[in-house]
Structure 1
Amino acid sequence: MTSAFVRAHTRLGSAPHVPEIQLHLAEDAFDLWERVEDQVGEKGLAPPFWAFAWAGGQALARYVLDNPSLVAGRSVLDLAAGCGVVALAAAKAGARRVVANEIDQFAIDAILLNAEANELSVQTEYGDMLDGDADGFDVVLAGDIFYDTAVTSRMMPFIHRLRTRDVTVLVGDPGRAHLPREQFTRVAHYEVPVPTALENAEIKTTTVWQPR
């Protein structure tokens, strides 16, 4: 089972910028990444994005926890949720309903394990949601989503559809090259500790953005 794999290759701890939330995280980022990469083609595994608290997610989770009125009593979607730290922050901040979306079953299982560890209620949605308009959600959150041009080309039309419905959209980004900054307004920024094995840095200056 994928949940057994998640348990076997992670340890329950917390991300440095969001110590309030417990997460199943890889102890050795490089080792797990290599272990899964070796099986990507052979067994159809995706890279283990779910085993790390990426800077964009940490910053966005911190912002939500520090500004709970953004989500309190509202329906929240965490898009491309990874380990689910943003979804968990929203649940902890008092959201009425939280759904964490992912296209990797390992991530779905990691999110459910993390929700259980924090005694928080988070639903999951497996599959690609970028062709829709997130109907039924008041808030859409996305941490570290602008990592390549293909995703950005689909993400921006999705965000524009959300804004026509007055959905609150917030994005956490650690300076990825593909974020179209001219279409966003900065609402907060943080210095976020990150695994050096993945980011080639100990700290990433990370911004929370809102579309204009």
Structure 2
Amino acid sequence: MKSPGMPNPDPAAFIRANLPISPVPSVPEIRLHQAGPASGLWRLAGRGETDPAPYWAYPWAGGAVLARHLLDRPEMVAGRHVLDLGAGSGLVAIAAAKAGAAMVTAVDIDANAIAAIGINAAINGVTIAVVAADIIGTPPPEADVLVVGDLFYDPALAVRVTAFLRRCQASGIEVLIGDPERAYLPQGELRRIATHAVADFGAGTGRGAVQAGVFSLRQ
């Protein structure tokens, strides 16, 4: 555990020094800084109760399936403004940019994720606008497509996210969700668009492949 008197390391410098760059499993067109056993991620993440878990440091199945789908079906985002909610490492945002989106905005509440998105975007040669904020309690953003990868792992968060996505849909924003059917995914409100086998780091599955889905909200 970090000593109380020890300052937090600079996120960008720490990520560059300790998280090696490698292709994303199942999405090799995209390369990211990814955490490994020797990354010492706890030194950056902190251990306080209010510190967000370092989800951004790993490519989770919900993001991987969305990224795979957008790269395979670029017409879904080409020429459009895409907003990636809970963007983490920036995987889905980067995929949207590579697929030809006119503008991509990545939103996350974790300052370390914000740093990672900027670095990862540069590695992949794309431009992404980055916003550090919790927007799910606010009015719908300016966007044509809202993408959400793996945000249904907590019951309270799932309720808030679902309500926000409904408001976005009602305002005319297309909503795309990527998820390996985690416990709190509101499946009764969703329509499955596609399924892809992708690697997953969540739920104790390690690097094994799972059948993850891409979903839209039912009208």
- Which position in structure 2 is the counterpart of 1:16? 25
Where 2:48 maps in the other structure, the secondary structure is: helix
Counterparts of 2:17 and 2:41, CA distance in 1: 14
Where 1:26 maps in the other structure, the secondary structure is: coil
- Which of residues 42, 45, 48 is equivalent to 1:41? 48
Aligned positions, number: 209
Amino acid at match of 1:144: D
Query: Is the 8 Å Cα contact of residues 74 and 139 (structure 1) preserved in structure 2?
Result: yes
Query: Is the 8 Å Cα contact of residues 61 and 201 (structure 2) preserved in structure 1?
Result: no
Amino acid at match of 1:137: A
Query: Is the 8 Å Cα contact of residues 24 and 114 (structure 1) preserved in structure 2?
Result: yes
Cα deviation digits, residues 64-91 of structure 1 (max 9, x gap) = 1111111111111000001010000000
Counterparts of 1:144 and 1:119, CA distance in 2: 25
Counterparts of 2:53 and 2:131, CA distance in 1: 19
Q: Verify: 1:27 aligned to 2:36, yes or no.
A: yes
Cα separation, partners in 2 of 1:25 and 1:198, compared to 1, 3 Å = farther
- Which position in structure 1 is the counterpart of 2:157? 151
Q: Verify: 1:164 aligned to 2:173, yes or no.
A: no
Cα deviation digits, residues 178-204 of structure 1 (max 9, x gap) = 011010000011111234895356122
Cα separation, partners in 2 of 1:198 and 1:112, compared to 1, 3 Å = farther
Counterparts of 1:113 and 1:54, CA distance in 2: 18
- Which position in structure 2 is the counterpart of 1:122? 128
- Alignment TM-score, normalising by the size of structure 2: 0.89
Amino acid at match of 1:70: M
Report the CA distance between 1:21 and its aligned residue. 0.8
Where 1:147 maps in the other structure, the secondary structure is: coil
Alignment of 1:1-212 (within 5 A): 1-28=10-37, 32=40, 39-41=46-48, 45-195=51-201, 198-200=204-206, 202-212=208-218
The percent identity for this pair of structures is 42
Amino acid at match of 1:40: R
Report the CA distance between 1:32 and its aligned residue. 4.3
Counterparts of 1:128 and 1:40, CA distance in 2: 21
Cα separation, partners in 2 of 1:180 and 1:90, compared to 1, 3 Å = same
Which runs of no fewer than 5 residues in structure 1 stay unpaired? none
**CA-atom RMSD in angstroms:** 2.0
- Alignment TM-score, normalising by the size of structure 1: 0.91
Amino acid at match of 2:94: L
Query: Is the 8 Å Cα contact of residues 58 and 192 (structure 1) preserved in structure 2?
Result: yes
